[in-house]
Amino acid sequence: MRAVIQRVKNAWITVNGGEKKEMGAGLVVLFGVHEDDCARDTLNVAQKIAQLRIFEDSNQKMNINAIDLGLDCMVVSQFTLFADTKKGRRPSFIKAARPEKAIPIYEKFLSEMENMGFNQVVHGEFGADMQINLTNDGPVTIIIDTDEWRNI
């Protein structure tokens, strides 16, 4: 699994041109599933994201997590996080999990995130056409890759 986490002041998403889902300050998480991933890692990834101390304390040190501040979270499925750009000019997405495997893992991850204690969790829809607008805060961007966890 791969997650790109951005600290934001606010964000909104629309799915297939539908109603805008808005959030205040918190985290936007772009979430991708690799073909070799399994659902057992979703809880660890969700906990890591929820507990990331990337918000400033009174001394301007990144020392507080989004949960402790009562902030929001947005989760968006994004298979393009596994783009292979080694050859040619068109990325290959062959390493991204196929929908029949990725959807249950994404839904489990989304459920785990909803149980972490964020003020609210808004989300996109797997495979849908989505527009996302966000205001980066910092900017602070963190990448989590479970493959790196296994190679330590």
* pTM metric for this prediction: 0.94
**What is the pLDDT, as a whole number, of residue 148?**
80
pLDDT band at 152 (very low <50, low <70, confident <90, very high): low
3-state secondary structure the chain: CEEEEEEEEEEEEEECCCCCEEECCEEEEEEECECCCCHHHHHHHHHHHHHCCCEECCCCCEEECCCCCCCEEEEEECHHHHCECCCCCCCECCCECCHHHHHHHHHHHHHHHHCCCCCCEEECCCCCCEEEEEEEEEEEEEEEEHHHHHCC
> Across residues 34-50, what is the average pLDDT?
95
Q: Which residues are catalytic?
A: 80
Query: pLDDT by residue (tens digit) across 66-86?
Result: 999 999 999 999 999 999 999
> What is the average pLDDT score of the chain?
95
pLDDT band at 147 (very low <50, low <70, confident <90, very high): confident
Query: pLDDT by residue (tens digit) across 104-140?
Result: 999 999 999 999 999 999 999 999 999 999 999 999 9
